[in-house]
Amino acid sequence: MRRLYSTLILLALVLSCGTLAAQNNNITPVPVRFLGGTCSDSGCMPAMPFDFSQLTSLYIKGAKGADRERLVASVEAAGLDLKLIKRPKTVACLNIWINPESMPFDEGYAVVTSEHNVDITARSAAGAFYALQTVRQMVESGEWLTGAIADYPRFEYRGVLIDISRHFRTLDFLKRQIDMMARLKLNRLHLHLTDAAGWRLQIDSYPRLTSYAAWRTPHDWKSWWQGGRKHVEEGSEGASGGYLTKDEARELVAYAADRYITIIPEIEMPGHSDEVLAAYPELKCTNNPEHQGDLCIGKEATFEMMQAILDEVIEIFPSEYIHIGGDEAGKNNWELCEDCQRRMREEGLASVDELQSYMIHRIERYLNARGRQIIGWDEILQGGLAPNATVMSWRGEEGGILAAEAGHKVVMSPHGYCYIDAPQDAPYSQPESIGGYLPLCKVYSYDPAPATMPESVARYILGVQANLWAEFIVEDDHYEHMLWPRAIAIAEIGWSQPEAKSYDEFRERAIRIVDSMIAEGYTPFDLKNEIGNRPESLTDVEHLALGKPVTYLHPSRYYAPQYEAAGDATLTDGKRGTWTYADKRWQGFLGRGGVDVIVDLEQLTTIRSITADFMQICGPGVFMPCLVEIAVSTDGENYTKIADIEHEVVLDELPSFKAFGWQGEVEARYIRYKAHRSKHSGFLFVDEIIVR
């Protein structure tokens, strides 16, 4: 007890005055406090190198049963071959003390390395497990100094979503990701089990969910989506897919629990349910187009099915939360469905939003009665949020803030920072993906609860989650490439205090982790060879039209409000676009007229070139123009066309960027720049009209 008492005294000292030391910059996520040197009742000594190979014994106090076994296994995973002993030692021993009174943080811990010993103090077995992940990183770094670390997570929820619906992943693959998550102190695995592309969990009461809705042809989602979206019977020629049996799901749950990770299952409702309706078409709305993706809320059989499914789900997954989706329901069929309209009349519902809310409320009551809570995407706010629901905010932060203001718990997962299905480097260098650009630095910059957020809101922010959707990710190695290292950034966001973070230091640590992952057979993105952002975007451009007024012709053809960038100033503000149209630099046009603007140079000017850049990313419907017209005028009334640039729009797999312009010499004050949309429709995105 004297040894534990001394450790607690040192812990208090570190928490009050310790700081991170550069020479111990090997721990990810970065800890809260570090105090270099060795301290005891008699005083403190300067920091000295510590050799983990001198340890021979392991003592554990306060952990029993499964927790004790998990800690022993974690010590072995850290590369330490230690003999378990019954009494603590002060020499050559790793002592683990678990004491609920040791610190105020549930998952917090302290690691003290003296000259010949290591002492771990934690409030819980989970905290001791996280301490051992820190020790593992110490051992692997090979460069550790004596001292003390006091550490605890900023947020209780630190998660990753893995989508196994669009492309099924095996049990072994999921275990590999759990192993890496645990080493980084991530503690929630959100498993996206159901979606249009495939149902991935055995359900005994509705067997066609896996004998039919789990299989399709062809294998890759993109071809399947564009080719009719047909499911096939299990065992059919060319059938591709799969599912977790109940035994496999239980095995995965136990495997994650041994690493203090909770698996949260997602059963989508009422939208994203095409595969359910393919297997059980009687649950479609009464108006019956070929494809329906929303469950019929008017049919009582829909609730009987969902409740029976949830009964089987909660038998497998002990998670407090069951994710019920709730996003992107089209709702169009509900307006025309006799059953849905009858339900609305009977329940006094004024809109289809309220009809969805009726379902969410009813499912929440059902799960609450069985000791579980619901969590759903922020669309569950529409029509009124269920009383005890937790919101996962993905369309931005607004939904999460609204839910928190109403007293609901929130997990922040905004697509601009946390949707890691976008390429993380120059798109031309990356495998095909949904489009856009989300580099590690932007992910790392996210703060789920910044200092500017009112405390009344911040107190309800449970944490943060990265989401990796798999529409375009067919192979396992591609999935790991997209997941890591961006999930490392999410781990540090969720665990570390904002003042302890530095992207430059983090990137160095992430490179080391990536290198070690590659050595272990993982396939992460090779961070050290990162190309980086679009070169044109790195510095503002000087040109003759900089800051000059732009007139947008024909109000119905204005830029799309969600992609307005800097508004009317965008095309002459000197800001070039990055690799993504969502950077508030590219301006998006969706109207039939495309781009049609006049730039006023405000005086007669000798012009030698006029150019503007466009992008093409076919997945989200962003295309090059098929024709660009450029005309000039001296008086703003009479224009002379100086360029007709025709372009054949080819549907390339990879994103591309192209300048459309004119060169020559002309005197003019006004420039009319007009870009026409191609037969493929979609968006036109332009960043700057450069005049020289």
Residue of 304, 305, 287, 285 whose CA lies nearest to 295: 285
* Half-sphere exposure (Cβ direction) of 625: Cα atoms closer than 13 Å: 29
Phi, psi of 537 (to 5 degrees): -85, -10
192 catalytic, yes or no? no
Cis ω on the peptide bond leading into residue 29 (within 30° of 0)?
yes
DSSP string, 440-470: HHHHHT--SS-TTS-HHHHTTEEEEEEEE--
Burial (0-12, 13-18, 19+ Cβ within 10 Å), 92: middle
Residue of 629, 626, 670 whose CA lies nearest to 650: 626
Q: CA–CA separation, 392 vs 400, rounded Å?
A: 7
272 catalytic, yes or no? yes
Q: How far is CA 591 from CA 210, 248, 251, 628, 677, in A?
A: 43, 50, 52, 16, 9
What are the structure tokens assigned to 348, written together? 């006094």
Q: CA–CA separation, 644 vs 673, rounded Å?
A: 11
- 463-472 residues labelled b (16+ CB within 10 A) or e (exposed): bbbbbbbbbb
DSSP string, 368-380: HTTT-EEEEEGGG
DSSP string, 464-502: EEEEE--TT--SHHHHHHHHTTHHHHHHHHHHS-GGG--
608 within 8 A of 667, measured Cβ to Cβ: no
Q: Is 612 helix (H, G, I), strand (E, B) or coil?
A: strand
- Give the active site residue among 328, 354, 447, 564: 328
Residue 577 DSSP label: P
What residues form DSSP beta bridges with 109? 122, 151
What residues form DSSP beta bridges with 375? 323, 390
Lookup result for tokens 């489009």: 435
What are the structure tokens assigned to 165, written together? 């619906």
328 catalytic, yes or no? yes
Residue of 269, 275, 254, 107 whose CA lies nearest to 189: 254
- Give the active site residue among 107, 195, 629, 687: 195
Phi, psi of 466 (to 5 degrees): -95, 140
Residue 31 DSSP label: P
- Give the active site residue among 192, 231, 272, 481: 272
**CA 111 to chain CA centroid, nearest Å:** 31
Q: Catalytic site residues?
A: 195, 272, 328
